[in-house]
Amino acid sequence: MDVENAVDVAIDTGNGAGFGVAGDPPSALSPSRAGDFMTCPLLYRFRVIDRIPEPPTTATARGTLVHAVLERLFDLPAAGRTPAAAQDLLLPEWTRLCADDELLAALITDEAERTRFVADAAAALRGYFKLEDPRRLEPAEREWYVETSLASGLKLRGYIDRVDATPAGDLRIVDYKTGRVPLEAYEASALFQMKFYALVIWRLRGVIPKLLQLMYLSGDGEVLRYSPDEADLLATERKLNALWAAISRARETGDFRPRPGKLCDWCRHKALCPAFGGTLPPMPVRTAAPVAEAGEVVEAGVEIA
């Protein structure tokens, strides 16, 4: 979830909704942070406790650019939301993003490399238009920041790419993915993020979204759809409370264990991981008062992985 991770960093450093500096206790859980801990507790520590910087890559930058273009596309009149219009937005949006982020601006300086980068983003946009016609849509929300607290006290937060609504009030949550379609074994992990958002909306509005839709834009494009029910979302809530309890215990003990797996070759912190001969940095000293955690009231033994 590299794009979502970048959004988390922006939230944490920009509006005080999370923690301020290394060592401060986290105060909320997002889909990407939850996914980090389930994938590897040590990865969660590197990102949330140590706050080790992760400069953008061309892949994450492409995702950021495509998301920005698709958001701006719906600012246009319906008839103007064409493939050509989306392509015309690419360079202006990239210029705007670079003006706001010096790391993005420094990422691609070679003209030939920038041409390839924009071409790859253009290909993802072509994939989008194979999946739906934006001229027939009027989203209810775009890049929507949501936040709610569960009965346990656990705060959930995040950004939803798009929410569509019917006149009858049915909701569809849409998320754009510029990476590859996940293998069947990883579909549950991909849907976890969407169930997280469905739970947040349910708690905010009292309505269970009718459909969760993951749109994979690479190649010919593919859509993964799922219709959640109350049992699904209650199970997600239990899972998140148990996960927060595990995070709280790890934070108190400092025991964030690595979980080696197939994704380790793509981890930016592999050199620090003891599972690969690295040496962990010392745990940062807290600078803020501990936050009361909801996880401590959760029953033990709930499966979180």
Question: DSSP readout, 131-143?
Answer: H--GGG---SEEE
Packed helices 111-131 and 58-73: angle between N→C axes, nearest 10 degrees = 50
Give the pLDDT of the chain (305 residues) as one tens digit per residue.
445 555 555 555 443 333 345 655 567 999 999 999 999 999 999 999 999 999 999 999 999 999 999 999 999 999 999 999 999 999 999 999 999 999 999 999 899 999 999 999 999 999 999 999 999 999 999 999 999 999 999 999 999 999 999 999 999 999 999 987 766 655 677 899 999 999 999 999 999 999 999 999 988 889 999 999 999 999 999 999 999 999 999 999 999 999 999 889 989 999 999 999 999 999 887 765 444 433 333 333 333 43
Measured CA to CA, the distance from residue 135 to residue 140 in angstroms comes to: 14
Per the CB < 8 A criterion, the answer to whether 127 and 220 are in contact is: yes
- Helix or strand holding residue 24 (H, E): none
Ranges of H-type helices in the chain: 2-14, 31-39, 41-44, 58-73, 83-100, 102-107, 111-131, 187-205, 230-253
Classify 286 as helix, strand or coil.
Answer: coil
What's the pLDDT score for residue 287?
62
Specify the pLDDT at position 220: 81
pLDDT in the model for residue 6? 52
CA angle 257, 268, 264 (to 5 degrees): 55
DSSP 148: E
The separation between CA 52 and the C-alpha centre of its own chain, rounded to angstroms, equals 18
CA–CA distance, 210 with 250 (Å, rounded to integer): 36
Q: Using an 8 Å Cβ cutoff, are 100 and 83 in contact? A: no
What pLDDT is attached to residue 134? 98
What pLDDT is attached to residue 186? Answer: 59
Between CA 10 and CA 32 the distance in angstroms is 13
- C-alpha 185/C-alpha 54 separation (Å) is 27
Paired residues of 142 in beta bridges: 162
Give the global pTM: 0.85
Rg (the chain; Cα; Å): 20
Tell me how far CA of residue 24 lies from CA of 51, 153, 252, 286, in angstroms.
10, 19, 12, 5
Number of helices (H), then strands (E), belonging to the chain: the values are 9, 5
Q: Are 233 and 195 in contact (CB under 8 A)?
A: yes
Output 103-109 pairs: Cβ under 8 A, ≥24 positions apart. 103/55, 103/56, 104/56, 104/61, 104/64, 107/55, 107/56, 107/57, 107/58, 107/61, 108/58, 108/61
Q: Name the pairing type of β-strands 222-226 and 155-165.
A: unpaired
Please calculate the CA angle 189-217-126 and round it to the nearest 5 degrees: 175
Query: What pLDDT score was predicted for residue 229?
Result: 97
